[in-house]
Amino acid sequence: MSNLPARLKELRAERGVNQDQVADAVQVSKSLIAAFETSRLAPQQDTAAALDAFFDTGDEIQKLSAEARKNRKPTPSWFRPWRDVEETAVILRYFQATLIPGLLQTEDYARAVFASTGMLSDDEVASRVAQRLERQAAILDRADRPAFAFIIDAAALRCGPPAIAKDQLLHLADTGARSNIFVHVVPDSAGLHPGRSGSFALATMEVGGAVGLLDDFYEGRVTAEPTHVTGLERTWQTITAVALPCDQSRDLILRLVNDYDDPATKLAQVQP
C-alpha cells in the first residue's frame, strides 16, 4: 500500500503550510489536495512533479503517486481511448441532456449518480467516484489548458436530490467562470432539438481531425469515423443555435440556486 497520504501530511506539517497554501503553490484546488491526503485520489504526473518541486523532495511524490495509481481499479477498456483523447485534445466539447457532465460533477453528485443505478455495490460506487474525480483533475487542470465547451439541457440542472443539487449548481457556476471553460444551457423554451436523442462529446486534436464519444446505457463508443463525426458536428451546431450565451446561462444557474433558498418558488417553472 502506498503511504502517499501520510507522506503529504508529514511534508505539509514540516513546511508549516495548510492545504490552501499547497493548492496555490501547485495551482490546483484545495479540495484536490484534501483528496490526495485522504487516499481518494492520487496526483497525476504533472501535479506530482509540482508537489515534489514545492516540497523539494526530488521525485519521491511522483513515485508514490505512480504506485497509488497503479493500485487503483483500472479504467474500463471502452473508456481508455477517450481518456487518451481528453489528455491530448486542444478543444473538448460536451453535450448532456439529462445529467451534469461528468467533468463538472461534485463528489456528492457523482456518488448519487452512480448509486442511482441500483447495480453497483458501495465499494464499486466509491471506486467509480474516485475515478471520476481523478479524471477531472487530470483533464480540467491540464498544464496546456485546452478549451472546454459544455452545453447542458435545462432539465439536467433540476435533476438530483435537493441536498446536493444546490452545491452542484454553485460548482457549475464557479467552474464556468474559468477563462478556458464555457458553460451553456439549453432553456426549456428551446423545445425539441437534435440533442434530445442523447448525450455526446467531441474532441478536436492538435494534429487536426476530430473524435467523438457517443453515450450508451452500459458503455460509450469512441468513433473517428468521418460520417459519424460530421453528424455530431452538425448536431453540435444545431444545439449551439438554441443554447443561451454563457452569461445568460450563468444567470439561469444562479437563479436556480436562489430557488433552493426560497421554498415558495417552483424550480420547474424557472425560465430564462
Digitized pLDDT (tens) for each residue of the chain, 272 residues in all:
358 888 999 999 999 999 999 989 988 877 778 878 877 778 888 889 999 999 999 999 999 988 887 766 666 676 778 888 998 999 999 999 889 999 999 999 999 999 988 888 888 888 888 888 888 888 898 878 899 999 999 999 988 888 899 999 999 999 999 999 999 999 989 887 887 788 999 999 988 889 999 877 667 789 999 999 999 999 999 999 999 999 999 999 999 998 877 655 444 434 44
Quote the pTM value: 0.74
3-state DSSP helix/strand/coil % of the chain, to nearest 5: 55, 10, 35
Closest-CA residue to 42 (of 75, 6, 69, 76): 69
Domains of the chain: 4-70 (1.10.260.40), 80-269 (3.30.870)
Residues 132 and 45: their CA atoms lie apart, in Å, by 17
Query: Contact, 61 vs 2, CB < 8 A?
Result: no
Cell numbers for 145: 489548458
Query: Contact, 105 vs 96, CB < 8 A?
Result: no
Strands of the chain, DSSP E:
91-96, 147-153, 181-186, 200-204, 210-214, 221-223
Phi, psi torsion values for 245, nearest 5 degrees: -60, 165
